């Protein structure tokens, strides 16, 4: 099971939402069935913790249930759903931590003057992806994503895992597309550094 490609078609949930809002409340269960897997994985990728992921899914659906009648379909339902889930995640963190999260300056990822720069890509960048991405690497990558500062982690997960476009991600997080691009680039660079470290320390790379 891999992540879906970005979607640009019309809202496939419109009919279901319309039915629920016209009185077929029982079909809310269909909506939960349709999105529980995606939201659960979204929660896992943000928190890397089963209990926190379950809390995020539950709280998100409760918010959807309370406010679905006010959803005006100005955006796709899925984007509205992820906006709620993202806000749940942000509020959760604010309740549990008080230390401000660090920025990731671009300079931290730039090679310094005189650094020896590689002229050939490392093995992990050229091996077939299906051979490379085993259970161990998947677990390590999940940890590394969860370790990103939140503002970068949200953008990386929405763009590179959930498959939202730059504009959709900007709408979900209520930030500018330019800001999405900046956070995405730095988040990816931080992940790349973490992966380099992972492969450099692996005594028997696949």
Residues that bind another protein (CB under 8 A): 1-3, 25-26, 28-29, 32, 36-38, 40-41, 44-45, 50, 54, 57-58, 61-70, 80, 83-84, 87, 106, 110-111, 113, 116-122, 124-126, 129-130, 132-133, 137-138, 141-142, 145, 156, 160-161, 163, 166, 181, 184-185, 188-189, 191-192, 195-196
Q: How far is the CB of 73 from another protein (least distance, A)?
A: 15
User: Smaller CB distance to another protein: residue 100 or 119?
Assistant: 119
User: Smaller CB distance to another protein: residue 9 or 119?
Assistant: 119
User: Smaller CB distance to another protein: residue 2 or 99?
Assistant: 2
Q: How far is the CB of 110 from another protein (least distance, A)?
A: 6
Listing DSSP states for the chain in one string gives --PPPP--S--TTHHHHHHHHTT-GGGHHHHHHHHHHHHHHHHHHHH--HHHHHHHHHHHHHHHHHHGGG---SS-HHHHHHHHHHHHHHHHHHHH--SPPPP--GGGGSPPTTPPPPSS--HHHHS-HHHH--HHHHHHHHHHHHTS-HHHHHHHIIIIIS---HHHHHHHHTS-HHHHHHHHHHHHHHHHHHHHHHHHH-SS--
Q: How far is the CB of 100 from another protein (least distance, A)?
A: 24
Q: How far is the CB of 112 from another protein (least distance, A)?
A: 10
């Amino acid at each position: 099971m891999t992540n879906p490609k970005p979607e640009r078609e019309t809202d496939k949930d419109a009919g279901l939402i319309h039915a629920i809002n016209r009185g077929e409340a029982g079909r809310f269960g269909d909506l939960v069935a349709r999105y529980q897997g995606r939201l659960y994985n979204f929660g896992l990728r943000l928190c890397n913790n089963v209990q926190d992921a379950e809390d995020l899914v539950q709280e998100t659906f409760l918010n959807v249930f309370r406010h679905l009648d006010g959803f005006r379909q100005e955006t796709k339902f899925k984007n509205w759903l992820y906006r709620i889930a993202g806000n749940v995640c942000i509020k959760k963190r604010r309740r549990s931590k008080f230390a401000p999260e660090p920025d990731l300056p671009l300079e931290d990822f730039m090679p310094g003057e005189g650094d020896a720069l590689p002229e050939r890509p490392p093995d992990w960048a050229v091996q077939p992806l299906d051979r490379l991405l085993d259970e161990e690497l998947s677990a390590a990558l999940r940890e590394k994503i969860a370790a990103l500062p939140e503002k970068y982690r949200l953008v990386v997960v929405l763009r590179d895992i959930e498959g939202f476009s730059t504009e959709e991600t900007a709408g979900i997080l209520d930030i500018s597309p330019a800001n999405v691009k900046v956070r995405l680039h730095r988040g990816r660079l931080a992940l790349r550094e973490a992966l380099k470290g992972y492969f450099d320390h692996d005594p028997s790379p696949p």
